[in-house]
Amino acid sequence: MQIQCLVLRASRLTHPRPLSRFAATVLGALAVIDPAEKERLERLEARIRALKKAEVANTEKGHMDEHYSQAQLAWRMVVELVAGLGIGFGIGYTVDLWLGTMPIFLVLFILLGFAAGVRVMMRSAAEVQRQQMAEQAAKDDERD
């Protein structure tokens, strides 16, 4: 005995096609489900989909934000150090040209620029550390 089924495709009915006995049994069993039970299962499936979507979005976003923030921090520190060196070089070279004492002020201001760049880097690192500790404390408070 061959069981026939109508399939809806592109808003029109197509020719009947045969189903296997297993598919017919499964489809028959699904048709017997109580409407209230079917509604409950649909709500459950919708909740599961929403939770999976939120979990994937949070995981990817958190990981990417953390990755970008670490890269931004690294570039910020590099730029601060190079800026200190560049400013020190510029001031030292200008003073040496002005006074006619070529290497003395150039070396002195490059060292001062390096020290200033390291100092600004350390201040930036301390600022980031305070932010991370505040975020960790907020997470700990949420868990409690």
Tokens of 108: 């002195």
Beta strands in the chain (DSSP E): 3-5, 8-9, 12-13, 17-19
Cβ neighbors of 6 (< 8 A, separation 6 or more) are: 13, 14, 16
Q: Model confidence over 73-117: pLDDT tens digits?
A: 899 999 999 999 999 999 999 999 999 998 999 999 999 999 999
Q: How confident is residue 122, by pLDDT bands cut at 50, 70 and 90?
A: very high
Note the pLDDT of residue 71. Answer: 85
List the domain boundaries for the chain.
Answer: 1-32, 64-143
Q: Model confidence over 45-66: pLDDT tens digits?
A: 999 998 888 877 666 555 556 6
Straight-line distance from the first to the last Cα atom of the chain, in angstroms, rounded to the nearest whole number: 64
pTM, full prediction: 0.52
Note the pLDDT of residue 108. Answer: 97
Closest CA to 85 of 55, 118, 36: 118
